[in-house]
Chains A and B, each alone.
Chain A
């Protein structure tokens, strides 16, 4: 991990939250290289004990937030609420769920009752 080109951007939070370093590393690389988001930055999400990622989808300007977690973790409703609060209440966050075989899936979580697009 330390020799990977993206490590320098992650080193602070990876060292601070070693337990969640794996899913952050995986989500960050996927967002940056596979999804090709722009202006990607790493944030410290202290209350959730992990780093989060912010950036914009290719050719868009809306700042979006990604919170990584591993499939093996157990989270809670309050944990998701905390993530919203710490990211200063965006309308939605993307939960990046990572698994051991390096597969990753994103779910959009919105605060309140939000109708699905037709």
Chain B
């Protein structure tokens, strides 16, 4: 991969950082060891969650780490969309129409192909279909005759015929009235719009982003502790994922999670004197042992800006 010095744009929406470019996702994963979670799904299959795509959503700690290391910038994505000019809108509209025209032309070619190839054996089929329709019509007529009288209004109306669609006759001028379905393409990347200009809404430091009102993590001691612990583990070469499945803040992997199992679930203690109940040690330790993981207690010292670690395992006796 080409090492580039360009900072990766983290597009911020509602105080969450997203990465929309697959190349950027590859860079932060392979060069900076930040995985994030793919969350994008398909509009017509929005319930499926087995195969997700862009955008990649980052944990706030991950975003803070990338910004502090100077490899990424925050982009205020909402404000970066400026009011488009009339000519830009006209151009966009023309492009859309052109795209639809192409789709319809393709559909036309496909239909013609289908009908010509199917004609030879369809003579018989057409005759049968006509017979079926004739029978149906007779039946409907009988029913209608019966229903005449007080129930006339409830009689089934079978005379409605589907409008005949003949793809071969669609001309460019009749686009709007066409019944052939077409897709409207909405680009995933804002940067393909002419009225997208992030240059004025890009922030390279946490402070600038906070002043601009788009980002405020870490704001509390607990959040500072999480960022500190995340950085501490990262600098030891670990990869971190969300720890919800094992009752901790992070799952700690010795390398890329696609390649390694995690050896630790980590929980963050925001200060050396933060209370820790023995029951937590039992719960963490036992779960870790059952899942072949040790539990890491990560103690953050906000004065020294240091992390220290204790590993918990079941003793094996008692």
Residues of A within 8 A of B (CB): 30, 34-35, 69-71, 73-81, 94-97, 104-116, 118
Q: How far is the CB of A53 from chain B (nearest CB, A)?
A: 12
Q: How far is the CB of A77 from chain B (nearest CB, A)?
A: 4
A95 touches B310 (CB 8 A): no
Residues of B within 8 A of A (CB): 236, 263-264, 269, 271-279, 281-282, 285, 288-289, 292-294, 296-297, 299, 308-318
Please count the residue pairs between chain A and chain B whose beta carbons lie under 8 angstroms apart in the complex. 104
- Given the known interface contacts A78-B273, A116-B288, the answer about A108 and B282 at a Cβ–Cβ threshold of 8 Å is no
Sampled A-B contacts (10; CB under 8 Å): A35-B317, A77-B297, A78-B273, A79-B276, A97-B278, A108-B314, A108-B315, A109-B281, A109-B310, A114-B311
Q: Which of A96, A111, A112, A116 contacts B293 (CB 8 A)?
A: A116
For residue A64, which residue of chain B has the nearest CB? Answer: B315
B263 touches A107 (CB 8 A): no
Provide the residues of chain B in CB contact with A118, threshold 8 Å. Answer: 292
Q: Which of B236, B274, B296, B312 contacts A108 (CB 8 A)?
A: B312
Provide the residues of chain A in CB contact with B271, threshold 8 Å. Answer: 77
Query: With the chains together, A69 CA to B281 CA distance in Å?
Result: 12
Provide the residues of chain B in CB contact with A104, threshold 8 Å. Answer: 318
Q: Which of B277, B293, B312 contacts A109 (CB 8 A)?
A: B312
- Given the known interface contacts A74-B277, A76-B274, A96-B318, the answer about A113 and B264 at a Cβ–Cβ threshold of 8 Å is yes
Nearest 3 Cβ contacts at the A-B interface = A106-B315, A78-B272, A77-B299
For residue B269, which residue of chain A has the nearest CB? Answer: A77
